[in-house]
Amino acid sequence: MSTTPSVIYLKDYQVPPFLIESTQLRFELEDDRTLVKAELRLTRNPECQVKPRGLLMHGDESLRLCRLAVDGQVLTAKDYSIDAGALTIAEVPDQFILESVVEIDPAKNTALEGLYLSDGVYCTQCEAEGFRRITYYLDRPDVMSVFTTTVVADKARFPVLLSNGNPVAEGDDSDGRHWVTWEDPFPKPAYLFALVAGDLKHIEDTFTTASGKQVALRLFAEEKDLDKLDHAMTSLKASMRWDEQVYGREYDLEIYMIVAVDFFNMGAMENKGLNVFNTSCVLASQKTTTDAGFQRVEAVVAHEYFHNWSGNRVTCRDWFQLSLKEGFTVFRDAEFSADMNSRTVKRVEDVQLLRTAQFSEDAGPMAHPVRPASFIEISNFYTMTVYEKGAEVVRMIHTLLGPDQFRAGSDLYFERHDGQAVTTDDFVAAMEAASGRDLTQFKRWYSQAGTPVLDITDEYDPSESVYRLRVKQACPPTPEASEKAPFHIPLQVGLLSPEGTDMPLENDATTVTLELTESEQTFTFTGIPQKPVPSLLRGFSAPVKLNYAYSQAELVFLMQHDSDGFNRWEAAQKLGVIILQALIADYQAGRELVLSDALVGAYRAVLNDTTLDPAMVAKVLTLPSQAYLGELSTQIDVDAIHAAREFAMNALACALEAEFSQAYKRCLIDVAYQPSAEQVAQRMLKNLCLSYLLRAGKPEYLALAQQQFSDADNMTDEQAALALVVHSNYQDAAQAMLSQFYSRWSQESLVVNSWLAVQASNPCPGALSQVEALMQHEAFNMKNPNKVRSLIGVFCGQNPVNFHAKDGSGYRFLADQVVALNELNPQIASRLVAPLTKWKRYDETRQQLMRDQLQRIMDSAELSRDVYEVVSKSI
């Protein structure tokens, strides 16, 4: 690093001294350069107290300025200065037109921020601060402007020219080039700008809004992928209808476009009227996409569509408010997915993600509040905390207010702030105004990091028929604060009678929401005729860790009887945790491992109950993950956790072989493939059964997996069989299947990614050298984030046994890749480094090895701000 990057603080926020009333852009796309001409109508911001004489515009060092003029007067070098990241014009009038021409080089842009090329298609990514790599601008979300964009390019090679809004004019030039002009009537910040130019094909449909407006829907992709857009189209129409029905929100332009690109740093981007999607989040077909893939497409299409209101019409004042749009929009897309599929399954999956990825972030060196107070590089704050915990915070408001008041609050929020750039406080204020509730204390969820821990004890007094719950809350220290004030926590609770039925509580409700506001509180239930078994934190009503000393018998009882589907699964997880933690301790002490009958019995009962949703059966019969068990440990012993889980799964397989075999057969589907909740559930359970059967150690089950692999008419079954065999002891069979799979799918980039990922996550010895070999394979490309994530990301994040090899080889490998990627793509480099930053959780030897590698990264030349921030904060 030449200079230490500076820290930006929320407390330093100031309104912009200038506003941009209109933005006219002209892009001339040429092979070796792109010319960007901008004409901005600037005016002093009446809300700004200070009146600086000059003007500071953001602009990346890579911009080459060709011309600069104020009100038609060309400026010369003495009128302005350019230094690291900014252009300063010494003196400007109160209102003026600023013209600029800059030259940029999209072909050299491997960071994939700003304007770049993805497989020969020009596309942009401007959130958060990518627009300043396109032209000089006030690149901050509280500067909102109306954009008119003209794109000029060779007509034969770039027949499709797109930007935000509605197309208003087009024409051909004499030299084989053509142009299209787009106008977006809605003022927007620069981060929502988009441009796409390429040889793309599209599918088209229309949507009629509730008020009768026709909207054209166009989804673009390369010709070879045109047959994989139908699911996204169906999902888009369903999202548009859902947002009308559930939130009263209509679409506002004449056209909605989605473009699929293969080179993309994230999942997708909600640019106004022109979403750009990672192919992995929009393409889907029966043959090439798993059920999980279909569901991801549905969720991400919905997410980006919902941003049109929660993000675009009402946007963020500054980047500290990122969760204003992301937390709310994740909550909205989660509810949409819950309505489209199984609500309980969706909740279980979201909680699993939160508990592993977010809880560990909240316990690590990069822990930050949902509304961070400072950052070095904003790209590092597109995190599990801002997205997933942010969504949990909105969910808690929903729980506290109830659906009607929440909807009133959301209506008021959109009405008050349409066209504005606002804060999370504004969001909460609208919820308070609509409900009459005081959420002052609740707002600590936005400002305090860390995962609260609830310790709950209870007592029953039969003479008085009184039951008491005593709840203590505490939150561990995190980098921004060592002392935490108590949170306002909605704790949803039900009480089960010994017969397994819900006891009627207040107003005959069976679930009540207890509101915790103090560090210690007692809740009293009267008229309780018998000692109940409490069902705590129903639906996972708050993002907390909960301790209550359930006996194994009580957990088995809850698994069978709890009326809350989420908590039935939770009881199974808790039982699994108790049993696995005991096995982990046995393994560490060198004792013989023995599987508890309680677990076998509980699993058998669930497996034989054909009235249950097969997806929930599959979830219940899945042991707590390696990552979750790690998260629960004070010191993570990857080998012991792995060994304990392997032992338990093998023992369950032998004990329940007949049941798994029957359930497998019950789940076979003989009707046409559908990614419907019902079929997804059957395949999920079927493949879970197959995973246990393969562990029963009989050749007939290997044959079954091989048969499923060759006969499958869908990627879910094909890939499940492949992954199970590759991760099993049948290594010869695995090699044969891997090469068959590759030759079958080598032309399908996304399928090849799953082929890379299956090998990268292989827990068997030798995975690292396999990964290193694959980096030389034709299928790998270090410049494509999807490839990097599938191979390097999966190895370091989802192959704990090999990544944490005692010789430190996994750590060294990751550091090498981070150093290489730091130059190519800082965002990807900085995301990839995360597993090393959690060094404090491991034994001393590993701690040292991990820190050595962090130091090696730190010492390497010219660190990007992205990598610098993460590494320096974690050393």
User: What positions carry a catalytic annotation?
Assistant: 304
Q: Three-state DSSP class for 649?
A: helix
Q: Three-state DSSP class for 782?
A: coil
Site string for ligand PHE, 376-415 (x = CB under 6 A): ------x---------------------------------
The entry of Zn ion, ligand PHE, none that residue 693 binds, CB within 5 to 8 Å by partner kind: none
Give ∠ CA 733-734-740 in degrees, rounded to 5.
90
Q: State both tokens at 240.
A: 């548009």
Site string for Zn ion, 292-331 (x = CB under 5 A): ----------------------------------x--x--
The answer to whether 580 and 645 are in contact (CB under 8 A) is yes
The answer to whether 571 and 558 are in contact (CB under 8 A) is yes
The entry of ligand PHE, Zn ion, none that residue 269 binds, CB within 5 to 8 Å by partner kind: ligand PHE
Give ∠ CA 818-822-825 in degrees, rounded to 5.
110
Residue 348 DSSP code: H
The answer to whether 178 and 153 are in contact (CB under 8 A) is yes
Q: Is 333 in the site for ligand PHE (CB under 6 A)?
A: no
In terms of Cα–Cα distance, which of 254, 220, 217 is closest to 239? 217
The answer to whether 104 and 64 are in contact (CB under 8 A) is yes
Nearer to ligand PHE, 125 or 239 (CB): 125
Shortest Cβ 303–ligand PHE spacing (Å): 6
Shortest Cβ 659–ligand PHE spacing (Å): 42
Nearer to ligand PHE, 225 or 304 (CB): 304
Shortest Cβ 130–ligand PHE spacing (Å): 8
In sequence order, the 6+-apart residues with CB closer than 8 A to the CB of 319 are 128, 141, 375, 378, 381
Nearer to ligand PHE, 129 or 426 (CB): 129
The entry of ligand PHE, Zn ion, none that residue 266 binds, CB within 5 to 8 Å by partner kind: ligand PHE
Q: How far is CA 283 from the centre of its chain?
A: 18
In terms of Cα–Cα distance, which of 181, 242, 184 is closest to 210? 242
* Interface with ligand PHE (CB under 6 A), residue from 60, 129, 304, 362: 304
Nearer to ligand PHE, 114 or 532 (CB): 114
Of 23-31, 266-274, 468-476, 609-617, which part binds ligand PHE (CB under 6 A)? 266-274
Shortest Cβ 638–ligand PHE spacing (Å): 31
Greatest CA span in the chain, whole angstroms? Answer: 95
In sequence order, the 6+-apart residues with CB closer than 8 A to the CB of 13 are 317, 318, 320
Shortest Cβ 484–Zn ion spacing (Å): 28
In terms of Cα–Cα distance, which of 707, 795, 784 is closest to 750? 784
H or E segment and range at residue 516: strand 512-516
Q: Is 866 in the site for ligand PHE (CB under 6 A)?
A: no
User: Binding to Zn ion (CB under 5 A): which residues in 329-348?
Assistant: 329
* Interface with ligand PHE (CB under 6 A), residue from 19, 20, 23, 127: 127
Q: State both tokens at 478.
A: 């995190």
Q: Is 342 left (phi over 0), alpha (psi -120 to 50) or beta?
A: beta
Nearer to ligand PHE, 265 or 799 (CB): 265
Q: Is 125 in the site for ligand PHE (CB under 6 A)?
A: yes
Q: Which residue is nearest to ligand PHE (CB)?
A: 266
Nearer to ligand PHE, 626 or 827 (CB): 827
- Using CB under 6 A as the binding criterion, the count of chain residues that bind ligand PHE stands at 11
Site string for ligand PHE, 268-287 (x = CB under 6 A): xxx-----------------
Q: How far is CA 465 from the centre of its chain?
A: 47
Nearer to ligand PHE, 337 or 687 (CB): 337
* Interface with ligand PHE (CB under 6 A), residue from 29, 266, 643, 796: 266
Bond before 128 cis per omega within 30 degrees: yes
Q: Three-state DSSP class for 317?
A: coil
Nearer to ligand PHE, 388 or 613 (CB): 388
Binding stretches for Zn ion (CB under 5 A): 326, 329
Binding stretches for ligand PHE (CB under 6 A): 125, 127, 265-266, 268-270, 303-304, 326, 382
